[in-house]
Each structure stands twice: as structure tokens, then as C-alpha cells.
Amino acid sequence: MGALPPFESQLASLTLAALERDGGRSLRDVEADFDLLRRAVVRTGKAATAEASKASSFFEAKELMEAGIKSVEDVFNEQREALDELIQTVGKLRRLPRPVAGEPVLVLVGMPNVGKSSLVTATSTGTPEISNYPFTTRQLKLGHVIGVQGRYQVMDTPGLLARTEDERNPMEGLTLAAVEHLPSAVVYVMDLSGTSGAQSAPLLQLRVREQVRERYPGRPWLDVRTKADLPLADEVLPEAVPHGTLDVSVIDGTNVALLKRRMAQLVGDRGGS
């Protein structure tokens, strides 16, 4: 994994670990079996060539070579599962979502069920790409925007929960890795209406927001409150909402156009930092 960029490396590692948890074998074991197959094929081919070189006539050499090719085919077919398994494993890694290298990424961060995915759809130019994380039922939605500031990407990420850093699971680690390792700016998404479930209660969202902000103090940042067509939950005082938060609703279109402009400005801020 050392040759991969840090974000892609972590994503690949999570995928391979999940394959093992589901009863699959480690990439190291798969590669080792393939190497055994490769060695057996090469060894058999060399032996057949050596035998053919000792032939006393063209026809004898031809017969020996045909027999040698048959031997190579037999060895390959006996152990071809090693190649099939390697192809399947590599195929799963190739299907992993990959941000376009060199393009800025706006990473949408927030707790589960707060509307990040809907914002990606609402702000993207064209239809966002949707990929499955192989290690979970969670999907990644990656949108692309083409505007006056150039091209950039908008990435939905797995939700963060209100807990300490050492308690975070691999999915949460992937979200933080996207902020840390990609050329990114943060759009912190909150639903403060109280309709996102107990684990994403409004006050917990504000607490997680402080955790992430403290971790990345220099990162270009935009706070967004979704479901602006709904009132604040009773427990949320207006002064508790971070200063400068943009209220957005994809239901009635409130500030969606302004959100696109603010996101484009973030890309410019990131490029100048």
C-alpha cells in the first residue's frame, strides 16, 4: 500500500480487512499462492524446453514441445484458483471510489443522517457518482462541479459520532483521513431540527463540530444547517448556532444557489492557503 496516496491507501486497507472478516484470505496469502502458480508454470515450461532441445529431429522436438505445452496447461489448470482469486481481489480494489488527483475536494463532514448526501446531489454539476464501500452498506457519493473557479469535487463521507478519537471506528477514520490527506476544505453539515435521530441529536452535532474544528483549525471551513424549512429544536438556542452558518433546504431550495457560490469561494480560499 506504500505506493498509494494516503487516503487511497487507508481505503484499500479497510477493504482488505473487511474481506478477511467476511471469510476471505489476506492479500499476502493470495499473492503467495499466485507466486506458487507462477513458479510452477515457469518451472514446467523450462523443463519442457530443455527436453525438446535434446530431440534428434524436428518432428521429435515438435512432439516434445506439444507435450510440454500440455504439461504447462495442466499445471496452470490445477492451480488456476490462485489467479482467479487474485483477479477478484484486484477487481474489488479497482472499483473503490477515487477522487480525481489534483482537483480540490470539498469534504462534507457531519453526524449520520444530517443531509450530506442530499447536498452533494443539489450542488453537483450533473449526476454524482455513487460507489459502495466494500466494507459496509454505506455508499459514497462523489459529485463534480464545473464553475468559474474551475473544477472541484464534493464528497459525502461516513458520519462521525460524538466520542473520543480513540473510540472512533474505521469508517470515521476514513472521514478524517479525507480531510487530512486530500486537498480539501470542510463543509460541516448540521441538522439542528431534531429530526435526525437520537445519535445525531442537535447538541451532539454541535459538540462534534467543535471537535473537528479544533483538530483542523487552519482548514477552509463552511458551516451549513440543513432542513432550514424546519425550526430549530427546542434545546438549541439561536446563539448556539455557529456564527456565519448558512441555512439551506433542498426541499424548498432555500439558499442552495448561495451554497454553491460559497463552496466555490472555499475552493478559492483553499487554493490561496
Res. 179: pLDDT tops 60: yes
The grid coordinates listed for 241 are 448556532
Res. 273: pLDDT tops 50: no
Q: Are 48 and 76 within 8 A, CB to CB?
A: no
- Please state, in angstroms and rounded to a whole number, the distance separating the CA atoms of residues 57 and 18: 57
Q: The domain that contains 252 carries what CATH number? A: 3.40.50.300
Look at residue 87 in the predicted model and tell me its pLDDT: 95
Report yes or no on 100 lying in a domain: no
Distance between start and end Cα atoms, the chain: 29
**What mean pLDDT is reported for the chain?**
88
Last residue of a domain, one of 74, 94, 114: 94
- Measured between alpha carbons, how far is residue 209 from residues 99, 142, 246 in Å? 24, 22, 15
Res. 216: pLDDT tops 50: yes
Whether 153 and 191 share a structural domain: yes
Last residue of a domain, one of 45, 62, 94: 94
Q: Which amino acid is at 31?
A: E
Q: Which amino acid is at 82?
A: A
Q: What is the number of structural domains in the chain?
A: 2
pLDDT tens digits along 65-115: 999 999 999 999 999 999 999 999 888 888 777 788 888 899 999 999 999
What is the band of 238 on the pLDDT scale with cuts at 50, 70, 90? very high
Report yes or no on 99 lying in a domain: no
Look at residue 93 in the predicted model and tell me its pLDDT: 83
Look at residue 184 in the predicted model and tell me its pLDDT: 87
Q: Which of 16-25, 187-196, 246-255 has the lowest mean pLDDT?
A: 16-25
Q: Are 254 and 248 within 8 A, CB to CB?
A: yes
What's the average model confidence in pLDDT over 119-145?
74
Whether 245 and 128 share a structural domain: yes
- Measured between alpha carbons, how far is residue 187 from residues 180, 247, 265, 267, 270 in Å? 14, 13, 12, 11, 12
Whether 185 and 209 share a structural domain: yes
Q: Are 168 and 10 within 8 A, CB to CB?
A: no
Whether 55 and 28 share a structural domain: yes
Q: Look-up: residue for cell 506458487?
A: 36
pLDDT tens digits along 33-49: 999 999 999 999 999 99
Q: Which amino acid is at 140?
A: L
Q: For residues 26-47, b (16+ Cβ closer than 10 Å) or e, as one string? A: ebeebeebbeebeebbeebeee
Give the SS3 label for residue 65. Answer: helix
What's the average model confidence in pLDDT over 205-221?
95
Look at residue 269 in the predicted model and tell me its pLDDT: 65
Give the SS3 label for residue 177. Answer: helix
Res. 133: pLDDT tops 80: no
What's the average model confidence in pLDDT over 173-191?
90
Percent of the chain scoring above 70 in pLDDT: 92
Q: Are 124 and 145 within 8 A, CB to CB?
A: yes
Domain range enclosing 240: 105-272
85 C-beta neighbours (distance < 10 Å), count: 17
Whether 36 and 71 share a structural domain: yes
What's the average model confidence in pLDDT over 197-216?
95
- Please state, in angstroms and rounded to a whole number, the distance separating the CA atoms of residues 43 and 72: 9
Res. 134: pLDDT tops 60: no
Res. 62: pLDDT tops 80: yes
Q: Which of 12-26, 102-116, 180-194 has the lowest mean pLDDT?
A: 12-26
